[in-house]
Amino acid sequence: EKGGYPYFMLKEIFEQPDCLLDCMRGRINIDADNVTLSAVIDHKDKLLSASRFIIVACGTSWHAGLIGQQLIENYCRIPVYVEYASEFRYRNPVILPTDVVIAISQSGETADTLAAIELARKQGAFVFGICNSVGASIPRATHTGAYIHVGPEIGVASTKAFTGQVTVLAMLTLALAKARGTISQDEYVKMVRELVAIPEKMKEALKANEQIAQMAKIFTYAHNCLYLGRGYCYPVALEGALKLKEISYIHAEGYPAAEMKHGPIALIDSEMPVFVIATRNGMYEKLISNIQEVKARQGRVIALVTKGDTKIRDLADEVIELPETMECFEPLVVSVPLQLLAYHIAVCKGKDVDQPRNLAKSVTVE
């Protein structure tokens, strides 16, 4: 059932291009350059009149939520708040009847996310679920939603569910932005076409597997790692760090690259691998300065760059090249090498990547 792969996690990483096609199937009409989500058609009024969105989730799903926040705010011009479900449910939050709560959960069984939904419903909010497991408790507790349809995820470390969640959030953004008139037709068409092209770009990103497997051997010694990103890729840095922590037991932190100088830079020395997401987007020049800051302190920089980049190749110790895409879809491509990196480091350390210690696939305890 592992399809020839040694672990489910690796199988699930490699499945992602196909999973995203499944996720988009029937929702994106390429001939008409159009995105439709049935939930958006059925609940148009509720969704279009939302005064704000509140995203509730845990772990990796929360990271997907942070990307969703940027997508929705950028293209739909609606304020979006992202909350850890476990904090939200206990802190007596302000919830308005005009709020739409988006609950994201792969398993659909996470206790804190379920409790956050119940709280939101009690206070009159409309709840939209983004789940993978069909018929689980969370999809049953929501008013409506969209499944990610990426198939069962067995590895405890979430991989394809994360990219599926981001893809659904991207489709939701496109459907809402079009209905609200906050996106130009040109931009809309460009985004739809690029989203459809992502699975092929992921396949290209997967070609870095061998390079990453080799590179991983160097990093098994590390006790601490830093992941830096900006904009849409800041949550990807958080997600890369979480992947490494949970399966390799190496301490890792994700940071917005510019925050480094406000503290974490003190940690940097020649022992510390720093993974920098430095693709060629609006933040490129700023990221180059951030890399220079790390290098000036003898840090070891492994940069994820856009194919053909030469500037960063000269600065970094190692580079992983990735196909170019629109900035807002970079998380879908950039996540791939970070998943592979965590996987290979954990395997080099002899860890059971599918069943890491102390972790369960569904966290049904509070």
- Taking the complex as a whole, the smallest distance from the CB of residue 141 to ligand M6R amounts, in Å, to 13
Helix-then-strand count for the chain, H and E:
14, 12
The Cα 268–Cα 260 span in angstroms is 10
* Contact (Cβ atoms closer than 8 angstroms) between residue 145 and residue 160: no
Q: What CA–CA distances, in Å, run from 161 to 52, 104, 130, 150, 359?
A: 25, 10, 10, 7, 17
User: Hey, is 23 helix, strand or coil?
Assistant: helix
Q: What is the C-alpha separation between 42 and 37, in angstroms, rounded?
A: 9
Report in angstroms how near the CB of residue 87 gets to ligand M6R at its nearest: 14
Q: How far is the CB of 89 from ligand M6R (least distance, A)?
A: 13
CB nearer ligand M6R, residue 258 or residue 363:
363
State which residue, 50 or 156, has the beta carbon closest to ligand M6R: 156
Closest to ligand M6R by CB, 30 vs 359, is 359
- With H, G, I as helix, E, B as strand and everything else as coil, classify residue 302: strand
CB of 201 to ligand M6R, least distance (A): 23
Residue 243: both structure tokens together = 């992947």
Alpha-carbon distance values, 127 to 35, 58, 282 (Å): 21, 16, 34
For the chain, the distance separating the N- and C-terminal CA atoms, rounded to the nearest angstrom, is 32
Residues 207/17, Cβ–Cβ less than 8 Å = no
Contact 239, 60 (CB under 8 A): yes
- Whether 361 is a known active-site residue: answer yes
Q: Which is nearer to ligand M6R, 57 or 278 (CB)?
A: 57
Closest CB 100 distance from ligand M6R, rounded Å = 19
Token duo for residue 101? 């709560």
Q: What's 143's DSSP letter?
A: S
Binding site for ligand M6R (CB under 6 A): 58-61, 105-107, 110, 113, 156-158, 242, 246, 359, 362-363
Cα–Cα distance, 285 to 58 (Å, whole number): 32
Q: Which is nearer to ligand M6R, 50 or 242 (CB)?
A: 242
Q: Which of 46, 349, 351, 361 is catalytic?
A: 361
In this structure, the strands spanning 99-105 and 52-57 are parallel
**Phi, psi values for residue 27, rounded to 5°:** -110, -30
Question: CB-wise, 249 or 284, nearer to ligand M6R?
Answer: 249
- Least distance in Å: CB of 117 to ligand M6R? 11
Active site residues: 361
